């Protein structure tokens, strides 16, 4: 039996609801789309009122068809506004994120009303096509709620996954999972898309990676197949269909009340796509959807293959230390100021044949802001990384892929880490997953040599190698600076040397960690 969480009717707002299709269409056509937040607020208020008004399910379904493309347009605009937002967000970014989630939730409630009414009809049996479309539209709306929550780093609302599983089970019991109607995905495909996004572990993904994943699934999610048992020799993962828990790598095999998602064809496509991008094919040549950039897609395909082929396993056990905390500074420029608080320029008294690096730096770095560490509690610790939690007073604008300097206490050296996942438990509590990169870091200046000798030095970090791990010295560079094989001058007091950029080891949206070879010291 289908039981969905629906708001009760409100007779007070009855006279504020417009239900005439032509009037609604005219109003939607005249919304001020140049102001995305204003449009979203008006849509939210209209859907809120409509969802608390008694209405025939056929009429509601027709009205939702008018709202659907306008809501999609407003949502796309809101997503663009928060593309560069980190955590904790600025006040306006927080407002946009809340608006995005609430708009998607109200849009989903409309389709809950429709499907609930169709499922409980007694006198006239609804058509299979109408029921299949309503189920697919609702699953897609619940999927959109999931995406909105991940883009804004907040947990999905309680009951979301219970309803996703329930709607899919209802479609299956009605033999509708593979029925596509009016350009809507089949209920089975919409369900698989929601499962695959959750299984991709969005807290580990940047905004761009999550958007790319959604684009990829729009075209290729049909390569995954739901079955009741694993297929011999195929990749895939088990999926619990009871409770309110999102798909997780913890469940490795079949279990009671579960399905199996066969991802063998999907993972082979990801592997082939990653290989072709690496060997020079463009996304268009491969047939990737418009909007999937080559550089992001190459690393993303490798990541998704790892997540969807069966799930990664932890290499190290984790433990919870008692009352442990660390000091943290985020961002390459802030770490550079932390290690070099006076922002001392490279020395001007350099030998003949080299460049005086001091002059351009002095003007570029006038009156730098001091790097102020924040204090974070350690949730758990392992050999490879730590999880931290705090309620920062400042807007730190943290993102997946940002470099961090960490210090256990005032007497220890600053170590280097990188943010691998972010979650917000509520409006203030932030949790971070940190991978350790190096126990030591040093500030340096790097001046690229692009065929001339007038470029400005850039702040960078020298990451000493670890002999026990057969690890060479590395450089952590600003994201825009790296080009394979490019020569650069490095001011690393008391030394100054020329290097050639080597292989990029760990590209993130915020920095490039690279090998280098020494040319002249």
Say which residue, 271 or 450, is predicted with more confidence. 271
pLDDT value at 502 more than 60: yes
Residue-averaged pLDDT of the chain: 87
* Residue range 315-327: mean pLDDT, rounded: 74
* Residue range 502-513: mean pLDDT, rounded: 89
pLDDT value at 521 more than 60: yes
Question: Terminal CA-to-CA distance of the chain, rounded, Å?
Answer: 75
Say which residue, 77 or 85, is predicted with more confidence. 77
CA-based nearest residue to 152, from 423, 472, 448: 423
Residue 233 confidence class, pLDDT cut points 50, 70, 90: confident
Say which residue, 240 or 265, is predicted with more confidence. 265
C-alpha span between 335 and 281 (Å, rounded)? 37
pLDDT value at 366 more than 50: no
pLDDT value at 190 more than 50: yes
Say which residue, 449 or 191, is predicted with more confidence. 191
The number of angstroms, rounded, from the C-alpha of 111 to the middle of its chain's C-alpha atoms is 26
C-alpha span between 136 and 294 (Å, rounded)? 31
The share of the chain scoring above pLDDT 70, in percent, equals: 89
Max Cα–Cα distance, the chain, nearest Å: 95
* Residue range 343-370: mean pLDDT, rounded: 48
pLDDT value at 349 more than 60: no
User: SS3 of 157, please?
Assistant: coil
pLDDT value at 457 more than 60: yes
3-state percent helix, strand, coil for the chain, nearest multiple of 5? 40, 20, 40
C-alpha span between 39 and 145 (Å, rounded)? 18
Q: Please report the pLDDT score of residue 353 as a whole number.
A: 41
Q: Please report the pLDDT score of residue 312 as a whole number.
A: 59
Q: Which helix (H) or strand (E) holds 511?
A: strand 511-520
Cβ pair 478, 458 in contact under 8 A = yes
Residue 352 confidence class, pLDDT cut points 50, 70, 90: very low
* Residue range 282-307: mean pLDDT, rounded: 88
Residue 313 confidence class, pLDDT cut points 50, 70, 90: low
Phi, psi of 240 (to 5 degrees): -70, 140
Per-residue pLDDT of 7-61, as tens digits, reads: 998 877 766 788 999 999 999 999 999 999 999 999 999 999 999 999 999 999 9
Per-residue pLDDT of 102-114, as tens digits, reads: 999 999 999 999 9
* Residue range 300-312: mean pLDDT, rounded: 85
pLDDT value at 161 more than 50: yes
CA distances from 280 to 275, 285, 501 (A): 9, 10, 21
Report yes or no on whether pTM surpasses 0.85: yes
Contacts of residue 185, defined as CB under 8 A and 6 or more positions apart, other chains included, come to 136, 140, 193
Contacts of residue 349, defined as CB under 8 A and 6 or more positions apart, other chains included, come to none
Q: Please report the pLDDT score of residue 351 as a whole number.
A: 41
How many residues in the chain?
521
C-alpha span between 439 and 415 (Å, rounded)? 4
Q: Please report the pLDDT score of residue 452 as a whole number.
A: 52
Say which residue, 41 or 233, is predicted with more confidence. 41
C-alpha span between 366 and 369 (Å, rounded)? 9
* Residue range 192-216: mean pLDDT, rounded: 94
* Residue range 378-391: mean pLDDT, rounded: 88
Per-residue pLDDT of 398-454, as tens digits, reads: 999 999 999 988 778 999 999 999 998 887 889 999 999 999 999 999 998 875 555
Contacts of residue 75, defined as CB under 8 A and 6 or more positions apart, other chains included, come to 40, 100, 103, 104, 144, 148
The 8-class DSSP code of residue 517 comes to E
Say which residue, 122 or 270, is predicted with more confidence. 270
Q: Please report the pLDDT score of residue 411 as a whole number.
A: 78
CA-based nearest residue to 283, from 298, 268, 269: 298
Say which residue, 360 or 154, is predicted with more confidence. 154
Residue 365 confidence class, pLDDT cut points 50, 70, 90: very low
C-alpha span between 218 and 184 (Å, rounded)? 11
Pairing of strands 236-240, 403-407: unpaired
Residue 317 confidence class, pLDDT cut points 50, 70, 90: low
C-alpha span between 100 and 228 (Å, rounded)? 36
C-alpha span between 194 and 442 (Å, rounded)? 44
* Residue range 321-325: mean pLDDT, rounded: 78
Say which residue, 427 or 505, is predicted with more confidence. 505
* Residue range 222-243: mean pLDDT, rounded: 89
* Residue range 484-491: mean pLDDT, rounded: 90
Q: Please report the pLDDT score of residue 231 as a whole number.
A: 85
Please confirm whether the linkage preceding 144 is cis (ω < 30° from 0): no
- Among the listed ranges 69-78, 353-362, 490-499, which one has the minimum average pLDDT value? 353-362
Q: Please report the pLDDT score of residue 354 as a whole number.
A: 44
């Amino acid at each position: 039996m289908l039981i969905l969480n629906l708001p009760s009717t409100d007779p007070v707002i009855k006279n504020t609801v417009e239900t005439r299709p032509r009037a609604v269409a005219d109003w939607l056509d005249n919304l001020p789309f140049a102001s995305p937040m204003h449009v979203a607020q008006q849509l939210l208020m209209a859907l809120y009122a409509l969802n608390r008004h008694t209405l025939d399910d056929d009429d509601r379904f027709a009205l939702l068809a008018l709202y659907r493309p306008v809501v999609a347009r407003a949502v796309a605009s809101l997503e663009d506004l928060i593309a560069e937002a980190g955590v904790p967000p600025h006040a306006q970014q927080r407002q946009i994120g809340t608006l995005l989630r609430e708009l998607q939730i109200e849009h989903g409630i409309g389709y809950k009303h429709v499907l609930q009414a169709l499922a409980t009809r007694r006198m006239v049996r609804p058509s299979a096509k109408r029921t299949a479309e309503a189920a697919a539209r609702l699953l897609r709306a619940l999927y959109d709620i999931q995406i909105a929550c991940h883009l804004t780093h907040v947990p999905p609302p309680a009951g979301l996954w219970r309803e996703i599983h329930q709607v899919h089970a209802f479609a299956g019991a009605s033999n509708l999972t593979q029925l596509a109607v009016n350009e809507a995905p089949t209920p089975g495909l919409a369900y698989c898309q929601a499962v695959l996004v959750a299984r991709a572990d969005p807290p580990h993904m940047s905004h761009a990676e999550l958007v790319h994943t959604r684009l990829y699934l729009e075209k290729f999610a049909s390569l995954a197949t739901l079955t009741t048992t694993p297929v011999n020799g195929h990749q895939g993962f088990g999926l619990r269909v009871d409770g309110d828990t999102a798909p997780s790598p913890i469940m490795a095999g079949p279990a009671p009340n579960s399905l199996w998602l066969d991802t063998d064809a999907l993972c082979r496509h990801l592997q082939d796509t990653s290989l072709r991008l690496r060997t020079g094919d463009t996304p268009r040549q491969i047939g990737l959807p418009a909007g999937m950039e080559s550089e992001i897609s190459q690393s993303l395909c490798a990541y998704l293959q790892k997540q969807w082929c069966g799930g990664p396993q932890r290499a190290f056990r984790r433990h919870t230390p008692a009352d442990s905390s660390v000091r943290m500074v985020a961002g390459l420029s802030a770490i550079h100021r932390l290690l070099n608080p006076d922002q001392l320029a490279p020395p001007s008294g350099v030998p003949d044949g080299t460049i005086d690096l001091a002059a351009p730096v002095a003007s570029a770095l006038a009156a730098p802001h001091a790097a102020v560490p924040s204090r974070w509690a350690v949730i758990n610790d392992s050999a490879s990384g730590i999880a931290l939690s705090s309620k920062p007073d400042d807007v730190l604008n943290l993102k997946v892929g940002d470099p961090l300097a960490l210090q256990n206490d005032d007497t220890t050296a600053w170590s280097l880490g990188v943010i691998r996942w972010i979650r917000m438990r509520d409006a203030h509590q932030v949790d971070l997953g940190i991978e350790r990169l190096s126990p030591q870091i040093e500030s340096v200046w790097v001046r690229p040599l692009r065929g001339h000798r007038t470029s400005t030095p850039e702040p960078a970090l020298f990451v000493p190698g670890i002999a026990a791990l057969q690890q060479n010295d590395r450089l952590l560079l600003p994201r825009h600076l790296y080009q394979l094989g490019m020569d650069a001058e490095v001011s690393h007091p008391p030394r100054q040397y020329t290097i050639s950029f080597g292989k990029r080891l760990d590209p993130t949206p915020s920095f490039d960690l690279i090998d280098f070879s020494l040319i002249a010291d």
